[in-house]
Amino acid sequence: MNITRKPFLIAEIGINHNGSVEIAKKLIDVAKKANFDAVKFQKRDVNLVYSKQILDIPRESPWGTTTREQKFGLEFDEKQYDEIDKYCKKNKIEWFCSAWDLNSLNFLDKYELNYHKVASAMIIDDDLLDEIAKRKKHTFISTGMSTKANIDNAVKIFQRNNCSYELMHCISTYPMKAEDANLSTIEELKKEYKCDVGYSGHESGTVISFAAVMFGISSLERHITLDRTMYGSDQAASLEPNGVEFLAEGIEKIIHSIGKPSLGNILEAEIPIAEKLRAHIKK
């Protein structure tokens, strides 16, 4: 394992803002306080991503009694994204989105974003991937729910368009069970595709994310929330503010603790201790 740098830390706000810009701002503050590098949202054209049949399904939510009302309640409009863009610039933290359709991708072109994200669900959408790759912005590609053929195809699209990318090992269960993590896949992805590989985690807690760091990941993405009991399908797999800080601080300690091989070398700080504890031993 070659661990030479801290991973790029992404706080996935996603739809955990529950349609509130004020909640989104508080989550941005959480990420900034913990020294995360970026926050990420999700953007959908609801009428494109979901069929009328699905949108008509009854569903109780804070916004109404149908799936349509729930999905629209979770989407930010242009005015709200303008406010998020301004807030992130003010607080000097990157933000970007995973676009779930071409309309959403075109919408994001308005903003001076440095990154794109391909959600696991969208890795099989060749048209969307091709358009994202044409933007020539560094792209994080999650590999949840994907066959090797799916990943091969996505990589070819980005290589063909000469667009910088990295893969992110991901298991698309919410929350993910520890025994399903298969972190050794990170090394397999590096070997197979000769590219940087990150980790997008959906587990509860921080242990698996810490373990992923030891595989030399280039990026780490975790969902964040103000309170895991809030409404939303992603809340249970998210980190609360204390967990976000604990994760960031732990990663810093891990990186600093790696050091260099020192077999046979005694630290200067160890010398007086050795002299004291070995004073009774005849040489």
pLDDT tens sequence across 165-210:
999 999 999 999 999 999 999 999 999 999 999 999 999 999 999 9
Whether 2 shows a pLDDT value over 80: the answer reads no
Domains of the chain: 8-277 (3.20.20.70)
pLDDT at 12: 98
Give me 89's structure tokens.
């610039």
Which is it for strands 64-66 and 58-61: parallel, antiparallel or unpaired? antiparallel
Judge contact between 186 and 217, C-beta under 8 A. Answer: yes
Q: What's the pLDDT score for residue 276?
A: 95
- Whether residue 259 is predicted with pLDDT greater than 90 in this model: the reply is no
Task: Judge whether 217 and 198 are in contact, CB under 8 Å.
Answer: yes
Q: Which two tokens stand for residue 253?
A: 């300690």
pLDDT at residue 154 greater than cutoff 80: yes
Token reading at 26: 């508080």
Mean predicted confidence (pLDDT) in 49-57: 97
pLDDT in tens, 127-138: 999 999 999 999
Cα–Cα distance measured from residue 82 to residue 84, given in angstroms and rounded to the nearest whole number? 5
Query: Sign of dihedral through CA atoms 123, 127, 128, 132?
Result: positive
Burial class (CB in 10 A: 0-12, 13-18, 19+), 278: exposed
Give residue 78's pLDDT. 97
Angstrom distance (rounded) from CA 204 to CA 173? 11
The predicted pLDDT at position 187 comes to 97
Q: Which two tokens stand for residue 193?
A: 């595709």
In the predicted structure, residue 5 carries a pLDDT above the cut 90: no
1: pLDDT confidence band, cut at 50, 70 and 90? Answer: low
Q: Which amino acid is at 90?
A: K
Amino acid at 225: T
pTM: 0.95
pLDDT of 244 > 90? The answer is yes
User: What share of the chain has pLDDT > 70, as a percent?
Assistant: 99
